Amino acid sequence: MREQIEGSRAIAQTVARCRPQVVPAYPITPQTHIVEAVGAMVKAGTLTPCEFITVESEFAAMSAAIGASAAGARTYTATASQGLLYMAEALFNASGMGLPVVMTVANRAIGAPINIWNDHSDSMSQRDCGWIQLYAEDNQAAVGLHVIAFRLAEELSLPVMVCVDGFVLTHAVEPIEVPAADVVDGYLPPFHPRQVLDPDDPITIGAMVGPEAYTEVRYLAHHQLNRARDRMPELAEEYALASGYRVSALSKYRVDGARVVIVTLGSVSGTIKDALDEVDDSVGLVTITLYRPFPADEIRAALACADHVIVLERAFAPGAGGVVAADVGAALSGLPTRVSTVVAGLGGRAVTKASVRGVIDDAKADRLPSLSFLDLRTDVIDHELARQAEADRPGPQTQALLRTAGVPASRIG
Partner 1 sequence: MTTQGVKFYQVGSRAVGNRLLDPSLRTEQANPDRRNALNSGHRACQGCGEALAARYVVDAAVRATNGRLLAVNATGCLEVFSTPYPESSWQVPWLHSLFANAASVATGVSAALKASGRDDIRVLAQGGDGGTVDIGFACLSGMFERNDDVLYVCYDNEAYMNTGVQRSGATPPAARTATSEAVGPQPGNRFGTGKDMARIAMAHEIPYVATATVAELHDLEAKVERAMSMRGARYLHVLVPCPLGWGSAPSDTIRLARLAQRTGLFPLFEAEHGEVTSVQPIRGRVPVEEYLRPQKRYSHLFKDPPATAVIEAIQAIADRNIQRYGLLSEEA
Partner 2 sequence: MFEIRLHGRGGQGVVTAAELLSVAAFLDGKEAQAFPSFGSERMGAPVMAFCRISDTPIRVREPVTNPDVVIVIDASLLHHVDVFSGLAPDGYVLINSTRTLDELGIGELAERHPHNRIITVVASDIAREHIGRPLPNVCLLGAFSALTRTVSIGSIETAVHERFSELVAKANIAAARDAYDRVEVASHA
Which residue from 265, 410, 254, 276 is spatially nearest to 345, judged by alpha carbons? Answer: 265
> Is the separation of the CB atoms in 283 and 276 below 8 Å?
yes
Contacts of 227-230 spanning 24+ positions with Cβ under 8 A = 227/156, 228/132, 228/152, 228/156, 228/158, 228/290, 228/293, 229/290, 229/293, 229/295, 229/298
CB of 74 vs partner 2, minimal distance in Å: 31
Q: Of 365 and 409, which has the nearer Cβ to partner 2?
A: 409
Q: Of 90 and 344, which has the nearer Cβ to partner 1?
A: 90
First and final CA of the chain: distance in angstroms?
A: 33
Q: Tell me whether the omega of the peptide bond preceding residue 112 falls within 30 degrees of 0, making it cis.
A: yes
Select the residue interacting with partner 2 from 352, 371, 381, 383 (CB under 8 A). 352
The interface mask with partner 1, positions 90-129, x = CB under 8 A, is x--x---x--------------------------------
> Is the separation of the CB atoms in 190 and 153 below 8 Å?
no
Does 358 bind partner 1 (CB under 8 A)? Our answer is no
Main-chain phi, psi angles of 49, to 5 degrees: -80, 130
Does 72 bind partner 1 (CB under 8 A)? Our answer is yes
Q: Of 216 and 280, which has the nearer Cβ to partner 1?
A: 216
Q: Tell me whether the omega of the peptide bond preceding residue 394 falls within 30 degrees of 0, making it cis.
A: no
Does 24 bind partner 1 (CB under 8 A)? Our answer is yes
> Of partner 1, partner 2, none, which one does residue 278 interact with (CB within 5 to 8 Å by kind)?
none
Distance CA 272, CA 157 (A): 35
> Of partner 2, partner 1, none, which one does residue 197 interact with (CB within 5 to 8 Å by kind)?
partner 1
Q: Of 55 and 173, which has the nearer Cβ to partner 2?
A: 173
Q: Tell me whether the omega of the peptide bond preceding residue 369 falls within 30 degrees of 0, making it cis.
A: no
Does 330 bind partner 1 (CB under 8 A)? Our answer is no
Does 238 bind partner 2 (CB under 8 A)? Our answer is no
Does 69 bind partner 1 (CB under 8 A)? Our answer is yes
Instruction: Using CA atoms of 374, 167, 101, 228 in order, give the dihedral in degrees to the nearest 10.
Output: -40
Residues 6+ apart with CB under 8 A from 249: 229, 232, 233, 236, 288, 289, 290, 295, 298
Select the residue interacting with partner 1 from 27, 32, 36, 60 (CB under 8 A). 60
> Of partner 1, partner 2, none, which one does residue 21 interact with (CB within 5 to 8 Å by kind)?
partner 1
Q: Which stretch binds partner 2 (CB under 8 A): 226-234, 267-275, 307-315, 327-335?
A: 267-275
CA 263 to chain CA centroid, Å, is 15
The neighbour count for residue 216, using CB atoms within 10 Å, is 10
> Is the separation of the CB atoms in 37 and 50 below 8 Å?
no
Q: Of 114 and 301, which has the nearer Cβ to partner 2?
A: 114
Eight-class DSSP state of 212: T
Does 71 bind partner 1 (CB under 8 A)? Our answer is yes
Q: Which stretch binds partner 2 (CB under 8 A): 45-53, 195-203, 266-274, 286-294?
A: 266-274
Does 45 bind partner 1 (CB under 8 A)? Our answer is no
Does 168 bind partner 2 (CB under 8 A)? Our answer is yes
Q: Which stretch binds partner 1 (CB under 8 A): 18-26, 139-147, 266-274, 361-369?
A: 18-26
Select the residue interacting with partner 2 from 173, 381, 400, 405 (CB under 8 A). 173
Does 327 bind partner 2 (CB under 8 A)? Our answer is no
Question: DSSP string covering 277-346, please?
Answer: HTS-TTEEEEEESEEES--HHHHHHHTTT-SEEEEEES--BTTTB-SHHHHHHHHTTTS--EEEEEE--G
CB of 208 vs partner 1, minimal distance in Å: 6
Binding site for partner 1 (CB under 8 A): 21-22, 24, 49-51, 53-57, 59-61, 63-73, 75, 89-90, 93, 97, 197-199, 201-210, 213
